[in-house]
Amino acid sequence: MYTEQNVAEHYDNAAFQFELERLEKHCPVEYAITCRYLDRYIPKEAVVVDIGSGAGHYAAFLAKRGCSIYLIDVSARLLDAARERLERAELGHRIRAVVQTSATDLGCLGNESCDAVLMLGPLYHLRELPARRQAVNEAHRVLKEGGILFAAGINRLAYLRDLFCENPKEGVKRQAFHEEYLQAGKLDPERAAPIGYAHLTTVEEFRSLLTERFEEQALVGTESFTTVWQAKLNELSADEREAWLDLVERTGATPEGLGHSDHFLFVGKKIEA
């Protein structure tokens, strides 16, 4: 049975080591493109709440630009890892607080207390629509007027692609489940152990969720055509990397780039009530 505690246990145990190295080793395109948008939309020295901070990669990137950071996650081990990452980089003084809580309950933060909110993980572990709406409402509440939201969703087709690649015979046995999945996007550890309990989305559904409270500034596929080959980026020189990243960014906002991508990145400005 799904609870947010299940998600915390998943990242405290089975997924912990992978999450420590995922962005740098396995998903460098996702990381680099997201950082480009963070750099573009979040001012230096902004107050940022990183909800679902994971191992602290994006928090460290923003702290280096002078931002002060609230680290928030349901996983105690990942919060410790994020704090340690910033402290090793001599950025510990940029941490405002470290709080173990859900994206649906930001009672630790006051109204209009932050310049930017990052939700680069929580929305694809909140399986029910009311919970996702609550998380979006909480982000809206804590943002100042004109504040910026960064939110990530996972492409619903990514699960089917990976299943076809890794175990197509098993996939044939799941046809009844696939009918439900294509409608609701819900996964569980039995069928998708690497991600555990999750909700994967479509472009239309993701946009609809977020534009209720935020004016869309960008909606892009962070990997575009690189998807499962993005680790190749680590084999390139700095100039080669930037040339390919330019192409990824150029194509990521197209329907084709969004369709290829594993992750959708939404950038939105707070709409005043």
Hey, what's the torsion of the CAs at 92, 98, 104, 107, to 10 degrees? -110
CA distances (Å), origin 163, targets 4, 67, 189, 190, 208: 25, 40, 14, 13, 27
Q: 253 exposed, middle or buried (CB, 10 Å; 0-12, 13-18, 19+)? A: middle
Distance CA 116, CA 2 (A): 29
When pLDDT is averaged across residues 58-82 and rounded to a whole number, the result is: 98
pLDDT digits (tens, 9 = 90+) for 74-101: 999 999 999 999 999 999 999 999 999 9
Is the pTM value of this prediction over 0.85?
yes
Binned at pLDDT 50, 70 and 90, residue 134 comes out as: very high
Superfamily of domain 4-154+200-270: Vaccinia Virus protein VP39 (3.40.50.150)
| Predicted pLDDT of residue 4 | 85
Q: Residue 255 is inside which H or E element, if any?
A: helix 255-260
The percentage of the chain sitting over the pLDDT mark of 90, rounded to a whole number, equals 97
Radius of gyration of the chain (CA): 18
The percentage of the chain sitting over the pLDDT mark of 70, rounded to a whole number, equals 100
